[in-house]
Amino acid sequence: MIPFLHLGPITIPTYGLMLALAMLAAYFLLRADLARRGIAPNTSTIAESLIALPCLAGIIGAKLYHVLESPSEFFADPWLQLFSQFGFAWFGGLLAGFSVYVLLARRERAPLLSMLDAGSPAAALGYGIGRIGCLLSGDGDYGIPTSLPWGMSFPDGLVPTTARVHPTPIYEFIVACAIAWWLWKLGSRSAIPSKAGSTAKSAPLAPGIVFAAYLVLTGAARFLVEFIRINPRSFLGLTNAQVASLASILAGLALWWWVRRGRFET
């Protein structure tokens, strides 16, 4: 693994590098989705703020959530826990990033559910690319030992192991990209008609359906991968991430039900 790139006197953490690439990819995808929905043209700067600020909030939220999950580790070495390059909780990042995204969408006076739909493919893609940063740095997000031929060891990782383990960041990257692709295709049914005036063959989707699918699919993916991750079990034999994933799935199903019943009009 390559936790750091050394370019002369400059040292670049690979996790941070992949995080920057994740933000860049998410930006271009969000900008394209906002444009095809008729919310903001490609020349607008809305997508920049909708990526940069929620991502910053997500990093802070992910770190704070991890600290709250393991208070004993925090009090043993607060400085290390707060500023280390590993120890981020997905659900904390989702909550913080989502909250800031909603505030920014409201500030732009755009339809909230349509804005959440537009951000869903970008969020899925950004998460997947970010997981490659976990792989390169070997920060402990790998899985349990395996005898499968694609098992990997992380002897030089930030959290080293010489055992051959499941490369769960690769699994999550593949699944996240597939989810992003499917959400993008699903969102095409919510896009505005083309200049030629053609309409989609299928009935247009109600705002909120794409975001509901994002919550369900990403929650399910994280719930399943946790069975082969090294995270400790807590509530009913589940990891904290699995409990959070169940909450995401239930929230997505509830949103889908409410939208289908016409409860949300924005």
Read off the pLDDT of residues 165-206 as tens digits, 9 standing for 90 and up: 999 999 999 999 999 999 999 998 776 554 444 444 566 788
- Where helices occur in 108-239 by DSSP H, the ranges are 112-137, 168-187, 209-225
197 vs 27: which has the higher pLDDT: 27
Give the mean model confidence (pLDDT) for residues 75-101: 74
Greatest Cα-to-Cα distance within the chain, rounded to the nearest angstrom: 64
Q: What residues form DSSP beta bridges with 98?
A: none
The answer to whether residues 245 and 238 touch, using CB atoms and an 8 Å cutoff, is no
Q: What pLDDT score was predicted for residue 32?
A: 95
Residue 68: partners with Cβ closer than 8 Å, 6 or more residues away: 92
Q: Residue 87: its pLDDT value, please?
A: 63
pLDDT value for 65? 76
188 inside domain: yes
- What does the pLDDT read at residue 85? 60
Residue 193: the pLDDT is 56
Q: Is residue 265 situated within a structural domain?
A: no
CA-to-CA separations, 154 to 2, 80, 160, 179, 227, in angstroms, rounded: 9, 21, 5, 27, 20
For residue 58, being part of any structural domain is answered with: yes
Average the pLDDT over 42-54 and give the result.
Answer: 90
Higher per-residue confidence, 57 vs 261: 57
In a domain, 24, yes or no: yes
The model carries a pTM of 0.86
Q: Which domain holds residue 47?
A: 4-260
The total number of structural domains that make up the chain: 1
Neighbours of 16 (CB within 10 A): 13
Decide if 193 is inside a domain.
Answer: yes
Confidence tier at 15 by pLDDT (50, 70, 90): confident
pLDDT mean over 112-138: 93
Q: How far apart are CA 20 and CA 160, in angstroms?
A: 24
Q: What is the pLDDT of residue 198?
A: 46
